[in-house]
Amino acid sequence: MEDNHISESPESRGQVGIFWIIDGDIAGYGLDSCAGENYGDFKIYPGDHYGTWNDICRESQELLLYAYDYFPRGRIAYNVVKDLYLIYIDRCIDTELSRRSLVERFKIPANHEFKYDIHYSCNGCLNLVEHLFN
């Protein structure tokens, strides 16, 4: 599933965005960090996963069968105070390959960190956590 919505600006420092990993492919949206929406000390992509899911489904109709949180997902935010990109990623897709692919796809410079947040957990991971604690 190729996404043509991620900016290809050659002078880009890096991008902020939201993404899903669907069958090994990155689907999502991004824009240059300088054009991101202000959110405290951060620049973020102005959309959220819930509100953007229908746009992703328009590109691939079979995805309409799934809720926005079914597939592993994440967000890339830029901390302007620390000059640091934070890549929030679901634990189930946190592999060396997915890390490299995300850094390349969103043109993230060396000043970045990967982080986990329960908010960016897919349906399968949430069900596993629920099962472990019940």
Q: Is residue 24 part of a domain?
A: yes
pLDDT of residue 128: 59
Please say whether the beta carbons of 123 and 97 come within 8 A. Answer: no
* Residue at 6 is within a domain: no
Q: Kindly state whether residue 33 falls inside one of the protein's structural domains.
A: yes
Confidence of residue 115 (pLDDT cuts 50, 70, 90): very high
In a domain, 96, yes or no: yes
Domain, as residue range, for 40: 15-133
Phi, psi of 21 (to 5 degrees): -110, 115
In a domain, 5, yes or no: no
Residue 2 counted as domain residue: no
Question: How many domains in the chain?
Answer: 1
- Single-letter amino acid code for the residue at 122: C
What percent of the chain is helix, strand and coil (3-state, nearest 5)? 35, 30, 35
Q: Where are the alpha helices (DSSP H) in the chain?
A: 49-59, 96-105, 123-133
130 burial type by CB count under 10 A (0-12 exposed, 13-18 middle, 19+ buried): exposed
Segment 54-102, tens digit of pLDDT: 999 998 899 999 999 999 999 999 999 999 999 999 999 999 999 999 9
Residue 127: inside a domain: yes
Q: What does pLDDT average to over the chain?
A: 87
Give residue 22's pLDDT. Answer: 94
C-alpha 78/C-alpha 112 separation (Å) is: 9
Let me know if residue 3 belongs to a domain.
no
Q: Which of 76, 63, 65 is nearest to 113 (CA)?
A: 76
CA dist 61 to 31, 118, 122, 128, Å?
24, 28, 20, 28
